[in-house]
Amino acid sequence: MCTVSFFKNKARIKFWYIVLVSAFVVLIIGGAIAGPSSETSKDNKPTETKTAIQSSAPDKKVSSPVTNGTLKVHFIDVGQADSILIQSPSGKSILIDGGDNEDGPSVVKYIKAQGINKLDAVVATHPHEDHIGGLDNVIKNFPVTSFYMPNVTSTEKTYSDLIKAVESSSNAKLQVKSGVKLDLPDLTAKFLAPNSSSYKDMNNYSAVLKLTYGDTSFLLTGDAENVSEAEMLKAGYNLKATLLKVSQHGSNNSTTSAFLKAVSPEYAVISVGKGNSYGLPVQQILDRLSSAGVKIYRTDEVGTIIATSDGKSITLDKKASSIKPHAPSASSVNM
């Protein structure tokens, strides 16, 4: 009886041994067929596999903002004065200068005609009446996120009117100097001047802004004269631009040969009043631009000029705006 029991127990052990081995083999084969599971990090959270990363194609619209839209720069006809409206591809709106005192209502009307109901930034290039005169009216009519101006003051009423408007608004007041950038997600907007804290001539305090969108760029110079131009050259800034807003309405105090060579623009826009008593733009500057092969556009000849960039090239609309701001007399201009 003991012998029979022994053999029975031995048979049972052998049977269960075979079952266990078979189950182990099945598990191994099943795992091989199913393939490896997702990788898991040390904290047991699943991680993406290399295959998943490689199969995800890059979003061209994210890596290249050029595909998002167009950049528009409006050189508003304000006669012997300056006012520039910028519309970024993402819908941001920036105003640089606002013409003379009497231009304020017309500049406001022009901005509204573009479907704009707020301004992300307003820039006062320097406190001369033909640049900041209409800005107090603009600030009173639009919510403004940020206000930029060089660190310089004036005793003129136009300046005090602007400061009162800025102080009564809720916008942030920021100082303009070289290196400061505007917060724009789809293009680069960087101030290249002023580079010093003190100048003898107010014009050299001018905020000079360079816009870069894709392969195109705009250099907007305010009334910066040869002193400021020399500082920008000495600083080694990349001044190359597709379009140059000619400084100081085409005066021979600006747009030196060295500066023009560094900018090497395809287009030049001159904001100037028709028949002004200063004789601007001077022939010397016109000849210098023409000799460099630059195509010249003037507000006194064609009215408001709209430059449109798709990030690859710039086109200019020379048609006069149906909303033409008041052209101030030359006597109101600070030279």
Distance separating alpha carbons of residues 51 and 49, to the nearest angstrom? 5
| Of 8-17, 27-36, 50-59, 299-308, the least confident | 50-59
Distance separating alpha carbons of residues 280 and 300, to the nearest angstrom? 10
Render pLDDT for 248-288 as a digit per residue (tens, 0 to 9). 999 999 999 999 999 999 999 999 999 999 999 999 999 99
The CATH code belonging to domain 65-327 is 3.60.15.10
Domain residue spans of the chain: 1-34, 65-327
| Of 39-48, 121-130, 137-146, 184-193, the least confident | 39-48
Distances (CA, A) of 234 to 52, 238, 248, 253: 50, 11, 21, 18
Q: Are 160 and 166 in contact (CB under 8 A)?
A: no
Distance separating alpha carbons of residues 64 and 87, to the nearest angstrom? 18
For the chain, the residue count is: 335
